[in-house]
């Protein structure tokens, strides 16, 4: 069995070489499509197209482009394949779009005064809706689709002084209830009945069933640096979160249950990560110097280090986790293939050869039968 360090789990590959609609502020991918949000309020939809030349890789091409009604920067794009919907956060408002076409859902008002949004991570793991289909090309993969009528998904919208809970289906967005909360939420992740929220100072977890909240650990442990360190929250498994805390010399990653209990071991980075993504069992982090580190969630060891790529002048790199997977055309397998000569035989000769073999087989069986009969006629002799 190969050593995991000798078989790196990741490689970098460009998918879209240039975007001129504005600075990319967020992106997501699903199946054979990529969705991009820009600083200009533009929403871009790219699709994988096969190349007419079989020796060339398929490539992503711009399929549609539209502007958000507000014209403001697109801050976050959340895909919900199980109900074929996309939540787009822009100008502190959540608008609901259809997938894959990115059309505004009619007769649905936006949710306003939003500080952060968290869709139940368990619901994001559901299979894609049967109404959501993707083109199947030589390099794309079709989405898993099952279920008849799709169940609604649950989400939390953190506002200035409350946490509002909603249920979203293909037909409508339904408000359920809310609980009080202090202002200043920057990040939030939900898993089942537990909601983990980060302000500039501290991480907290809330039991949505009982509305009880308790604080976990500080975002930064260095006095006077609150607000300069970006909080990171990841859902690792049902009712398990990963929280990052800056110590002044390094950043620690702690695995915490929904009840606030530490589990697994502790991760450590030499600098505070720019982005953190989970692709279980791997955790991928982008460091300020552009280096990408890959850790094992199960052993907390470094599996791979990818040198800083060239992002170009003024480039602001980031990592994004695409939960449902997407198609990435690659020549890795093709490069390992080689041509092999195969001798072909005309169909007539093949049939003749098969007939001759059958004749010989029948003659051999007949001779064996005759020999057995002769042996049966010979009397046994005792000496």
Query: If the chain, 383 residues long, is cut into consecutive pieces of 10 residues, what is the mean pLDDT of each piece?
Result: 56 88 94 95 93 79 92 96 96 95 92 97 91 46 48 96 96 95 94 96 96 95 94 95 97 96 95 95 94 95 89 78 84 65 68 50 58 42 29
- Which residues neighbour 236 within 8 Å (Cβ) at sequence distance 6 or greater? 242, 255, 278, 280, 297
Name residue 46's beta-bridge partners: 34, 62
Q: How far apart, in whole angstroms, are the C-alpha atoms of residue 275 and residue 291?
A: 11
Read off the pTM.
0.81
Q: Say how far residue 133 (Cα) sits from the centre of its chain.
A: 17
According to the model, what pLDDT value does residue 306 have? 92
Residue 256 tokens, joined: 């915490």
According to the model, what pLDDT value does residue 179 have? 95
pLDDT tens digit string along 318-353? Answer: 999 998 888 888 766 556 566 788 887 766 554 544
Closest CA to 288 of 226, 229, 219: 229
Burial of 276 (0-12, 13-18, 19+ CB in 10 A): buried
Residue 127 tokens, joined: 């299979």
According to the model, what pLDDT value does residue 12 have? 86
According to the model, what pLDDT value does residue 69 have? 86
Q: DSSP code of 144?
A: P
According to the model, what pLDDT value does residue 148 have? 42
According to the model, what pLDDT value does residue 49 have? 87
Q: State the DSSP H helix or E strand holding residue 277, giving kind and residue range, or none if neither.
A: strand 275-279
Residue 20 tokens, joined: 């001129």
According to the model, what pLDDT value does residue 168 have? 97
Q: How far apart, in whole angstroms, are the C-alpha atoms of residue 169 and residue 149?
A: 10
Residues 35, 27 contacting (CB under 8 angstroms) = yes
Residues 33, 98 contacting (CB under 8 angstroms) = no
Q: DSSP code of 187?
A: E
According to the model, what pLDDT value does residue 326 have? 86
Residue 238 tokens, joined: 């049902």
């Amino acid at each position: 069995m190969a050593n995991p360090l000798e078989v790196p789990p990741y490689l970098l590959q460009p998918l879209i070489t240039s975007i001129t609609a504005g600075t990319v502020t967020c992106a997501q991918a699903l199946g054979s499509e990529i969705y991009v949000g820009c600083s200009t309020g533009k929403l871009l939809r790219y699709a994988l197209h096969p190349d007419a030349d079989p020796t060339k890789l398929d490539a992503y091409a711009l399929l549609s482009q539209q502007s958000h009604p507000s014209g403001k920067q697109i801050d976050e794009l959340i895909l919900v394949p199980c109900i074929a919907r996309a939540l787009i956060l822009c100008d502190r408002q959540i608008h609901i779009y259809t997938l894959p076409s990115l059309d505004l859902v009619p007769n649905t008002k936006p949710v306003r005064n939003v500080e952060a949004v968290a869709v139940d991570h368990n619901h994001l793991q559901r299979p894609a809706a049967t109404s959501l289909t993707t083109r199947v090309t030589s390099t794309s993969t079709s989405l898993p689709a099952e279920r008849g009528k799709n169940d609604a998904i649950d989400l939390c919208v953190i506002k200035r002084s409350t946490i509002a809970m909603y249920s979203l289906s293909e037909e409508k967005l339904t408000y359920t209830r809310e609980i009080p909360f202090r202002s200043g939420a920057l990040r939030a992740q939900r898993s089942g009945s537990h909601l983990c929220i980060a302000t500039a100072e501290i991480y907290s977890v809330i039991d949505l069933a009982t509305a009880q909240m308790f604080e976990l650990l500080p975002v930064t442990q260095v006095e006077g640096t609150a607000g300069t360190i970006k909080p990171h929250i990841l859902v690792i498994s049902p009712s398990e979160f990963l929280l990052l805390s800056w110590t002044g010399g390094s950043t620690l990653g702690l695995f915490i249950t929904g009840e606030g209990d530490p589990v697994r071991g502790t991760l450590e980075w030499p600098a505070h990560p720019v982005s953190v993504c989970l692709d279980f069992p791997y955790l991928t982090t982008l460091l300020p110097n552009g280096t990408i580190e890959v850790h094992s969630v199960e052993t907390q060891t470094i599996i791979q280090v990818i040198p800083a790529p060239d992002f170009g002048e003024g480039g602001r790199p980031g990592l994004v986790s695409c939960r449902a997977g997407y198609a990435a055309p690659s020549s890795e397998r093709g490069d390992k293939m080689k041509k092999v000569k195969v001798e072909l035989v005309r169909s007539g000769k093949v049939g003749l050869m098969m007939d001759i073999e059958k004749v010989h087989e029948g003659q051999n069986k007949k001779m064996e039968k005759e020999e057995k009969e002769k042996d049966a006629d010979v009397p046994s002799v005792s000496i």
